[in-house]
């Protein structure tokens, strides 16, 4: 029986002085704090048996993954399945609930109506995790993604409802959610915060 660990790593702090909802928009990079967080996570994982590193195509995820690939002498792989959730509000600074113009997009919090359905997010994330698990069989892989996709997958794996209060997500910046597999079966989920995540 082979033991494989797939670490889901949320990217580090993002440079966002205007406070916009950046979603999948290009050009949002790690802040100085985020760069330090990425380096500290890489140092934390330095003694781990990491043989595969894959990231969302968004710049902040790619930057978070780079120090890990450097530590382990690996090439960075990009997987669209790890991308941030789609959201009609990206690029705005509005208070979503208070602005009446946004109410039509907020009609169904269970789907959600303002973006990519939770079930689709969980499904693509699960597929990406299994691709990484297969590439790293018997070793460890790191998948760098984003808060909502990671939380949607973890809730799916736990058999919990996928709609939830975003304020209660357990997925801090630069945190690790480690999925432990025995062959293809998930046997454990471990959450950890190897670095201080507050800017």
Lateral strand order in the sheet of 50-55: 76-78, 50-55, 140-145, 3-10, 176-182, 185-192
146 within 8 A of 11, measured Cβ to Cβ: yes
pLDDT digits (tens, 9 = 90+) for 6-44: 999 999 999 998 888 889 999 899 999 999 999 999 999
Whether 105 is in a domain gets the answer no
The confidence score (pLDDT) of residue 140 equals 98
Whether 130 is in a domain gets the answer yes
Q: What is the CATH number of the domain that holds 134?
A: 3.40.50.1240
pLDDT digits (tens, 9 = 90+) for 173-198: 999 999 999 999 999 999 999 986 45
pTM: 0.89
Say yes or no to pLDDT of 80 above 70. Answer: yes
Whether 160 is in a domain gets the answer yes
Whether 129 is in a domain gets the answer yes
Whether 39 is in a domain gets the answer yes
Domain count of the chain?
1
Whether 106 is in a domain gets the answer no
Whether 127 is in a domain gets the answer yes
Mean pLDDT rounded to a whole number for the chain: 89
The confidence score (pLDDT) of residue 49 equals 98
DSSP for 108-139 reads: -TTTTTTBS-HHHHHHHHHHHHHHHHHHTTTS
Whether 109 is in a domain gets the answer no
Domain, as residue range, for 174: 3-86+116-192
What gap in Å lies between CA 29 and CA 125, rounded to an integer? 22
Residues sharing a CB contact under 8 Å with residue 103, sequence separation 6 or more, in sequence order: none
What gap in Å lies between CA 88 and CA 97, rounded to an integer? 14
């Amino acid at each position: 029986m082979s033991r494989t660990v797939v670490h889901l790593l949320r990217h580090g702090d993002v440079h966002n002085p205007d406070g916009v909802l950046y979603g999948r928009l290009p050009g949002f990079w790690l802040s100085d704090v985020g760069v330090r967080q990425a380096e500290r996570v890489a140092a934390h994982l330095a003694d781990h048996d990491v043989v595969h590193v894959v990231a969302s195509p968004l710049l902040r995820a790619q930057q978070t993954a780079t120090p890990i690939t450097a530590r382990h002498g690996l090439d960075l792989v990009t997987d669209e399945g790890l991308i941030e959730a789609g959201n009609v509000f990206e690029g705005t600074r509005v208070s979503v609930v208070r602005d009446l113009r946004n109410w039509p997009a907020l009609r169904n919090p269970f789907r959600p109506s303002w973006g990519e359905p939770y079930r689709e997010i969980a499904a693509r994330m699960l597929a990406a995790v299994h691709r990484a698990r297969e590439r790293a069989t018997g070793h460890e892989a790191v998948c760098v993604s984003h808060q909502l996709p990671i939380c949607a997958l973890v809730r799916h794996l736990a058999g919990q409802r996928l709609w939830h209060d975003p304020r209660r997500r357990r997925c801090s910046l630069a945190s690790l959610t480690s999925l432990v597999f025995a062959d293809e079966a998930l046997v454990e989920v471990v959450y950890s915060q190897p670095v201080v995540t507050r800017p």
